Structure 1
Amino acid sequence: MTHDAMSHKMIRWTAALGAVVVAVGLAGCGGTDESAGASSTAATPSGVSMVSPPPSADTATTIDITIANGTVTPRNARIEATVGTPIVLYVTSDAADEVHVHSTPEHSFEVTAGAQRERFEFTVTVPGSVAIELHEADVTVATLQVR
């Protein structure tokens, strides 16, 4: 084999190897858009990717709140919750109000008069007792015991 033929073969081999390296690198960058509810990936120490599914409705803590004729249900409920697990409030109300969640960070949600199962979702990132209150009704709906 001539020197020119060997150089040409080496250049082709180097280009092919470079293409493989780029393809592998791009495959590793194929993240997901978590804001769209897609699953997330995490690499293990061995470099193998593990996919974790997005939170589903059956893993969320749900609370149904009713405001009717000035009466709020529930009142002063004690509910267990987990750090990072979604909390979903379903509010049915005949009056406008504001749900205030005393967590870190705090959350506030405007309740519409005539709402039928209006949905509000949040997560708690700091463990402890978290009060959920209605401001206009001046009622503590529930206290979450977040662990």
Structure 2
Amino acid sequence: MALTLVLALAACGSADEDTAPPTEPTGATSSATPSAATSSAAPASPTTESTDLGPLLTVTIDGDQISPNAEEIDLGTGDKLLVEVQSDRAGELHVHSAPEQFVQFAAGTTDGEIVVNTPGTVEVEDHDTSAVVALIEVH
């Protein structure tokens, strides 16, 4: 698994990615809602829970502190993973699927979703820090 992380992190920093503007392909959506206040406390505990609409991954970003850290999630092929990002800054999550997806987020709370149609392991990482927040096992 460490080798997979190293290879994925190296691929994420490639020059090709930096020259093309990011796009938001079908399957990844986001909407921003401003938060009431920003706390200087450490990020909350990682949360992956199941809702009536599907599993929910909650990502908390406070500066360079990001949680969860490589949280493992099982997801069926074509199933929806809801994503809630609570952040003190704008940014984007990269979903290393085929095709690659992005979940753009604003400062505050942003909701999005990820749908992966190809079985395998998919990494979700914060673009600014390259921190891997989730490893999705798609079956």
User: Smaller-chain TM-score range?
Assistant: 0.5 to 0.7
- Aligned-residue sequence identity (percent) comes to 30
Structure 2 equivalent of residue 129 of structure 1? 121
Native 8 Å contact 1:98 1:108 kept in 2: yes
Distance 1:66 1:119 in 2: 12
Which of structure 1's runs of 4+ aligned residues deviate more than 3 A? none
Deviation at 1:69, TM superposition (A): 3.1
Q: Which ranges of structure 2 fall in alignment gaps of 5 or more residues? A: 1-50
Distance 2:122 2:67 in 1: 18
Structure 2 equivalent of residue 54 of structure 1? none
Q: Which ranges of structure 1 fall in alignment gaps of 5 or more residues? A: 1-56
Structure 2 equivalent of residue 120 of structure 1? 112
RMSD over aligned Cα atoms: 1.6
Native 8 Å contact 1:59 1:85 kept in 2: no
Deviation at 1:59, TM superposition (A): 4.7
From 103, 112, 118, give the equivalent of 1:109: 103
SS in 2 for 1:104: coil
Letter in 2 for 1:115: G
Deviations 1:63-119 (A, max 9, x none): 00000132101011111111111111100000122101011121112221x222x11
Instruction: Give the helix-richer structure, 1 or 2.
Output: 1
Native 8 Å contact 2:92 2:127 kept in 1: yes
